[in-house]
Amino acid sequence: MAKSEVSQTAATAPAKRRWYHNLLDAYKITKRSFPQLPWWLLLATVAVVGSVATLNYFLGAHWILNLFFSLTFLFLTPTVILGWLVKKALYRQIDGHTGAVYGVISQIRSGWTVEKQPIAANRQQDLVWRMFGRPGVVLLAEGPKSRVRELVERERKQIQRVVSNVPVHTIYVGHDEGQVPLEKVEKTLRKLPKSLRRDEVPLVVNRLQALSNVKLQGGLPHSVDPAKARAKVSRRAFRGR
């Protein structure tokens, strides 16, 4: 009986992912946005490996050393190119979907605390997200600026009543005038000036969590499901399917 349960568990357990699975997924994701990717990888790899081999030849390097460097750059070049392009491809594929901003800021691992639920929304599915870091509090508005400005201003005033001495930055995400494109959100966040010490950030987070809990209980329109707002960013965009 026990052996049967063990065998069933082993059969249903997901297969262990290897590094090459992630590399293949990155290739599939990137190719959806950049159909010319195979040619780019091929030409770049040939150019880099050829340059390395030629340089080693003129420097008089031993053929074994030359072979080692050539094989290293043969695998390294496409990996670096994929790592650089895959984020751009992801941003292009989720751009325009409800919850796309969360798809970007949730990938930022260091220096920021990102709230998993939007702190404000309207019936047109415009969303306002909030994150905390050493620059202070950042509000990211998702939707037409003319329509979402009122939501942002209301949230900014409420935050400043709770933490009046903490800077509140606003980023309008979109393609209209005065908005930041989705793929430049992370770069814009890095440019914000640091105003808080590291030990002050958790204090700000804790003071504003109570405000978030109250709003989630009754502040969002019934037509907006915060969980679905995140789920609408297709999970397939983060896999090679």
Question: In terms of domains, do 62 and 126 share one?
Answer: no
Question: In terms of domains, do 82 and 107 share one?
Answer: no
In the chain, the percentage of residues whose pLDDT exceeds 90 is 21
Check pLDDT > 80 for residue 89. Answer: yes
Question: In terms of domains, do 134 and 50 share one?
Answer: no
Count of structural domains, the chain? 2
Q: Which domain holds residue 63?
A: 2-94
For range 23-38, the mean pLDDT: 82
Rounded (to 5) percent helix, strand, coil in the chain: 60, 10, 30
pLDDT in tens, 32-82: 878 888 898 889 989 988 888 888 888 887 878 888 888 888 888 888 888
Q: Do the beta carbons of residue 229 and residue 119 sit within 8 Å?
A: no
| pLDDT at res. 3 | 52
Question: In terms of domains, do 226 and 113 share one?
Answer: yes
Residues in the chain, overall count: 241
Question: In terms of domains, do 210 and 196 share one?
Answer: yes
What is the rounded CA–CA span in Å between residue 175 and residue 144? Answer: 9
Question: In terms of domains, do 134 and 74 share one?
Answer: no
Q: Look at residues 40, 70, 94 and tell me which one is the last residue of a structural domain.
A: 94
| pLDDT at res. 211 | 66
Query: CA of 129: how far to CAs of 28, 74, 76, 102, 105, in Å?
Result: 30, 42, 37, 7, 9
Question: In terms of domains, do 65 and 145 share one?
Answer: no
Q: Look at residues 59, 94, 129 and tell me which one is the last residue of a structural domain.
A: 94
| pLDDT at res. 90 | 82
Q: Look at residues 49, 69, 94 and tell me which one is the last residue of a structural domain.
A: 94
| pLDDT at res. 153 | 93
Cβ neighbours of residue 220 under 8 Å, at least 6 residues apart?
A: 118, 120, 121, 226
Average pLDDT over the chain reads 80
Q: Binning pLDDT at 50, 70 and 90, where does residue 15 land?
A: low
Question: In terms of domains, do 144 and 29 share one?
Answer: no
| pLDDT at res. 190 | 92
Q: Do the beta carbons of residue 93 and residue 239 sit within 8 Å?
A: no
Check pLDDT > 80 for residue 9. Answer: no
What is the rounded CA–CA span in Å between residue 130 and residue 115? Answer: 6
Question: In terms of domains, do 163 and 89 share one?
Answer: no
What is the rounded CA–CA span in Å between residue 164 and residue 177? Answer: 29
* Torsion of Cα atoms, 130 then 131 then 135 then 140, to 10°: -40
Question: In terms of domains, do 157 and 229 share one?
Answer: yes
Question: In terms of domains, do 82 and 119 share one?
Answer: no
Question: In terms of domains, do 84 and 142 share one?
Answer: no
What is the rounded CA–CA span in Å between residue 104 and residue 138? Answer: 14
String of DSSP letters for 109-128: -SSEEE-SS-SEE-TT--EE
